Amino acid sequence: MSDRFFAQTACDRCGGPLSGGRIMSMFNTDCICMECAGRERARADYGRARDVEARAVRDGDRNFRGVGL
């Protein structure tokens, strides 16, 4: 995660405030609010995105760009 991740104040997805928490998307490098994270987790393809990201990290890719949204 870059300094931008911690410095930004608005969600990349909805534009809402990040004051309630932030997380990086499983699908791309968006910094998203917890509300958007909940919507993301509800997607049918979330499990696949999570598994592909975990595999990339295990294989040493610490800069995985995601599977795409």
Per-residue model confidence as pLDDT tens for the chain (69 residues):
557 888 999 999 999 999 999 999 999 999 999 999 999 999 999 999 999 999 999 999 988 888 888
Burial of 1 (C-beta count, 10 Å sphere; 0-12/13-18/19+): exposed
Which pLDDT does position 62 carry in this prediction? 84
Cα–Cα distance measured from residue 31 to residue 5, given in angstroms and rounded to the nearest whole number: 6
Which pLDDT does position 68 carry in this prediction? 86
In the chain, what are the domain boundaries?
3-57
Its pTM stands at 0.83
Which pLDDT does position 2 carry in this prediction? 56
CB count in 10 Å sphere of residue 65: 11
CB count in 10 Å sphere of residue 5: 15
